[in-house]
Amino acid sequence: MTTKAIAGNFFEDFRLGQTIRHATPRTVTAGDQALYTALYGSRFAVQSAESFARAIGYRAAPLDDLLVFHVVFGKTVPDISLNAVANLGYADCRFLKPVHAGETLTATSEVIGLKENSNGKTGTIYVRSRGQNQHGEDVLSFVRWVMVRKRDERAKAPEAHVPELPNSVAAATLASACPPIDGKAWDDGLAGSPHRFGAYKVGEKIDHGDGMTVEEAEHQIATRLYQNTARVHFNQLAEAQGRFGRRLVYGGHVMSLARALSFNGLANAFHIAAINSGRHVAPLFAGGTVFAWSEIVARDELPGRADVGALRILTRATRDVPCASFPTADATAEAPGVILELDYWALIPR
């Protein structure tokens, strides 16, 4: 018997300021984008069509922003959250450069906060994770915090340090992954909507209408595509004995379902520039049907950019609740309701 197989880090394995390089580098391809489309049905024109992307100013169609997020996130799992009790939240997530098919992504994380819980059994760690392309350029940066088990409950608590995190990403940094967009070349008919930046008002609510039922094979295929090894998504033998009796759907799968559903009402909001915060309010299991609605919570004109504006959007995804009346009650394992609150900035042509 050896210790070559990795059991993941526990709370006392993390040190403030520690930097972790994650395995495995991953070349993302047209194959990944096709699978992404097949898993979510996403229809945003910029990511769907080379001709559309090039006409408006991209050198090639960028991969879907959340596909990049999931691939980078997946790399962090074996080192950060294999022994996680709960994924508590995300903040300050910025998409910094477009990623195209053929590029290779790697990831690193820095520990920026630590706080042991009063029960002495668990603690919260805060990490800043970065995704880079094969040129070593940052393409994505985000903070997440996770509640992790201690290996040894008697291990001494580290000095508590909770990082200050912005409530939202500052406007100045929102457009770095977006080339100058030729608004005249933007074809509203092909994009699927006549509504550009000027048409959206703060406070506006949009029911995205459709529902998508999730199957075990679908979320497993997605989560493996991202090389995310979190055990709760895959091992029914163990989960049958667990808290819910069932495999949990990866929270990022819900984010992508909600984003794909949001095309109906936000078709021109083509690029996720930043995620201000993400909360997985309640779990999703196979057999659940996901719906989504969005509220426009802010608009920003982005100084220096006459081509695109930014909409701050709060998208709520629900389990087994259509969204015509814009529900806010949280789901439980038994009762339907809201399962995700995703507060993000999207760019949209002016």
Of residues 105 and 302, the one with the C-beta less far from a copy of itself:
105
State which of positions 79-118 bind a copy of itself (CB under 8 A): 101-102, 104, 106
Of residues 117 and 227, the one with the C-beta less far from a copy of itself:
227
String of contacts with a copy of itself for each residue 254-293, x by CB under 8 A = ----------xxxx-------------------x-x----
| Closest CB 23 distance from a copy of itself, rounded Å | 3
Q: Which of 17, 189, 303, 304 binds a copy of itself (CB under 8 A)?
A: 189
3-11, 166-174, 298-306, 340-348 -> range binding a copy of itself (CB under 8 A): 3-11
| Closest CB 90 distance from a copy of itself, rounded Å | 23
Pull the structure tokens for residue 5. 């197989």
| Closest CB 102 distance from a copy of itself, rounded Å | 8
Q: Give the chain's radius of gyration (CA, Å).
A: 20
Kindly state whether residue 335 participates in binding a copy of itself, applying the rule CB under 8 A: no
Of residues 222 and 274, the one with the C-beta less far from a copy of itself:
222
- Write out the H or E segment, with its range, that includes residue 42: none
Burial of 232 (0-12, 13-18, 19+ CB in 10 A): middle
Of residues 28 and 178, the one with the C-beta less far from a copy of itself:
28
Rounded CA-CA distance 291/268 in Å is: 20
Q: Give the distance from CA 220 to its chain's centroid.
A: 17
- What is 273-294 written as a DSSP string? EEEEEEEE-S---TT-EEEEEE
Of residues 320 and 330, the one with the C-beta less far from a copy of itself:
320
Rounded CA-CA distance 80/64 in Å is: 24
- Please count the residues of this chain forming the interface with a copy of itself, following the rule CB under 8 A: 86
Beta bridge partners of 113: 126
| Distances in whole angstroms, Cα of residue 107 to Cα of each of 26, 112, 130 | 10, 16, 6
Closest CA relative to residue 337, chosen from 284, 297, 286: 284
State which of positions 292-331 bind a copy of itself (CB under 8 A): 320, 322, 326
State which of positions 169-188 bind a copy of itself (CB under 8 A): none
State which of positions 14-73 bind a copy of itself (CB under 8 A): 21, 23-27, 29-35, 37-45, 48-52, 61
Instruction: Judge contact between 58 and 51, C-beta under 8 A.
Output: no
Burial of 172 (0-12, 13-18, 19+ CB in 10 A): exposed
84-92, 120-128, 177-185, 192-200 -> range binding a copy of itself (CB under 8 A): 192-200
State which of positions 201-240 bind a copy of itself (CB under 8 A): 204-213, 215-218, 220-225, 227-229, 231, 234-238
| Closest CB 72 distance from a copy of itself, rounded Å | 14
Closest CA relative to residue 280, chosen from 228, 319, 311: 319
